[in-house]
Amino acid sequence: MDVSLDQALAAALAGDGAFVVVTGAGVSAESGIPTFRGQDGYWTVGSRVYHPQELATHAAFRRMPEEVWRWYLYRLGVCRAAEPNPAHVALVELERALADRFLLVTQNVDGLHMRAGSSRARTYQIHGNIHFMRCAGAHGDEIMEIPAGVSGLGPEDPLPDQLRGLLRCARCEGWARPHVLWFDEYYDEELYRFESSLAAAASASVLVTAGTSGNTNLPNQMVALARRSGALLIDINPEDNPFGRAARAADGIFLRGSASQELPRVLAAVTSALRAEAG
C-alpha cells in the first residue's frame, strides 16, 4: 500500500498541475468537533427539536435570528475550545512543501486549518468560517471577525442582552449573521470561491478528499472534474463512501483510516517524491 501511494504520487507530481485537498468534518473529528451527519447536531428551541438543515437557513434566521445565533454561538464555543490535530498540521506542511502548487478547499467552518497555520491565500473556506460574521442586510460584502467580547454559549444559555448589541453590522446597525453558507443559499465566487475551486480541480494533477461524506455539491463537482482530466484521486476516510469509490474506479487510492493517520502518510510520500525529483 505504501509503495503504491509513493509511486502514484511520484508519477502524478511529475506533471505540473495543482495539488488540491478537499477536507470535511472528519478532519476535525479528532479535535473533538462533531461531524455534520453524526448524532449531535440537533437543537431544541422551546419544545421543538430542529434539525441542522432547518436551523442553518436564511429562512430560519429571518424568522428567529436570536435562536439561530444561540445555536451558532454554542458551536463557536466548541470550535474555540478545540485544537488542531495532526491532520491539520500535515496540511500546513504539505502547503510548505508544495508552495503555489498547493490548494486547500475546506467545507469546515471551524477555522482550525487557519489556526494550524494554513495560509489565507491558499485555503478556500467554501462554507465560510464560524468565527466571522457579516451584515444580514445590504452590507454583506464586508466580513468581520466576531468581536472578542462575544463568548460561546452553553447549549441551554439564552442570548445575553449585551450580545444583541454586538452582533450588529457596523454600518447600518441591523443584525449581523454568521459568515457561513446556509442550506437555502448558493455557492458564489465572492464569498465562497466557487469558480476558483472548480478551476483548481480542473487543473489538478492530484485531488485528495479527506473526512467528507460526499453529500455536498461543490466537492462532488470538483471530484468529477479532476477525474475527467486524469488527476490522481486519493480518498481518506475510515468508512466506505462515494469519494473512496470514485478514487478506486479511477485507478486512484482509497486510504481507509483516520485523517490524522493518513494525511501524514500522504505528506511523507509527497516529501520523498519531491526530494527524488530534486535529485
- C-alpha cell belonging to residue 32: 473533538
CA-nearest of 126, 140, 139, 106 to 192 is: 126
Give the other-Cβ count within 10 Å of 2's Cβ: 9
Cα distance between residue 4 and residue 111, in whole Å: 33
Q: Checking DSSP bridges between strand 18-23 and strand 102-106, what pairing results, if any?
A: parallel
Q: Checking DSSP bridges between strand 102-106 and strand 123-125, what pairing results, if any?
A: parallel
The residue range among 6-14, 21-29, 168-176, 196-204 that interacts with ligand OAD, by the rule CB under 6 A, is 21-29
* Active-site choice (127, 131, 139, 179): 127
Q: Is 30 in the site for ligand OAD (CB under 6 A)?
A: yes
Q: Is 212 in the site for ligand OAD (CB under 6 A)?
A: yes
Any catalytic annotation for residue 127? yes
* Binding residue for ligand OAD, selected from 215, 228, 249, 251, defined by CB under 6 A: 215
Q: Under the phi-then-psi rule, with left for phi > 0, alpha for psi from -120 to 50, and beta for the rest, what region is 151?
A: beta
Q: Is 216 in the site for ligand OAD (CB under 6 A)?
A: yes
CA-nearest of 238, 229, 232 to 208 is: 232
AA letter at 204: A
* Binding residue for ligand OAD, selected from 31, 107, 129, 205, defined by CB under 6 A: 107
* Binding residue for ligand OAD, selected from 26, 65, 111, 178, defined by CB under 6 A: 26
Closest-by-Cβ residue to ligand OAD is 26
- Residue whose cell numbers read 467554501: 126
* Binding residue for ligand OAD, selected from 117, 238, 242, 264, defined by CB under 6 A: 238
The residue range among 11-19, 135-143, 149-157, 230-238 that interacts with ligand OAD, by the rule CB under 6 A, is 230-238
Least spacing, CB of residue 16 vs ligand OAD, in Å: 29
Residues that bind ligand OAD (CB under 6 A): 24-26, 29-30, 35-37, 56, 107, 127, 181, 211-213, 215-216, 236-239, 241, 258-259
